[in-house]
A = this chain, B = another copy of it.
Amino acid sequence: MVDSTERLPMVRVTETGRETTVDVVVTEFPLTIVLNERPVVTLLCSPANLDYLAVGFLFSEGLLRGEEDIREIAVDQEAGTVLVKTKKAILPSSKRLVASGGGRGAPFAPLNKQAKVDSSLEIKTSEVFALMDDFIRRSAVFRATGGVHSAALCDRGGVLVFNEDIGRHNAIDKVFGQCMLQGIQTAGHLVVTSGRVSSEILLKVARRNAPLLISKSAPTTMGVMMAGELGMTLVGFARAGKANIYTNEWRVLDGR
């Protein structure tokens, strides 16, 4: 288990004075992902589950189509690298979209190529609230430091896969990377995130055919628009007992 936090000395000041103490600070780790001996990107991330992150990132960027493309994965925690080799040659383009407060974009997977998410999944409001309870309870690093995002793959009954990272994009990539490596189905399931839902986040979830995305935070206009166009249900500001449904509300049913 890699530690995603460090204890650092710190001075706490208030209106009445100061005291020297120790704070738990979230680790920022530079990870270089190398695809077929070519460095693709350096991500700043939390240093746990680097293989999940690498695989999830490469999938989000359209550089892997699935687990079946992967020949070999080698994580070197010391060097800060994950080396991924594919069965067939894949050449990353150097063009990329870079985005606000998170953004890496999905230049290889534009919206006009993304198929609608076709799923008859429905969930009760009481199940949404129970999921959020469970999700928030698991966010241990966040509680300690106030500095990380969480993401989870869920079904109606609860959390199936859970990951944390200082980046909201990374947290979701880790979830989907883990699903790919462990053969866990994402189609027809729910995704929960602590972070804002921008167009990029929405697109990541659409690419895994998960029809329902629930966030503790706000969506953006492009996130809402895309969710509508792709047939997805987007829920924001979800907490125990309250949530906003922006698109395709039919998937969320009244009652317990």
Contact = CB atoms under 8 A, between A and B. Distances in A.
User: At the interface, is chain A mostly helix, strand, loop or mixed?
Assistant: mixed
**Copies of this chain per assembly:** 2
Contacts of A199: 28, 44
B101 A220 contact: no
B246 A10 contact: yes
A11 interface: yes
B43 A100 contact: yes
Interface in A219-248: 219-224, 236-237, 241-246
Interface string A129-159: 1000000000000000111010000000000
Contact of A28 (B42, B44, B221, B237): B221
A23 B166 contact: no
Q: How large is the interface on A (under 10, 10 to 19, 20 to 34, 35 or more residues)?
A: 35 or more
Contacts of A149: 101
14 contacts: A8-B246, A10-B245, A12-B242, A12-B245, A17-B254, A18-B245, A23-B244, A27-B221, A43-B99, A44-B105, A99-B167, A100-B169, A100-B170, A102-B102
Interface of A: 6, 8, 10-15, 17-18, 23, 25-28, 30, 41-46, 94, 96-105, 125-126, 128-129, 145-147, 149, 165-170, 195-196, 198-200, 217-224, 236-237, 241-246, 249, 252, 254
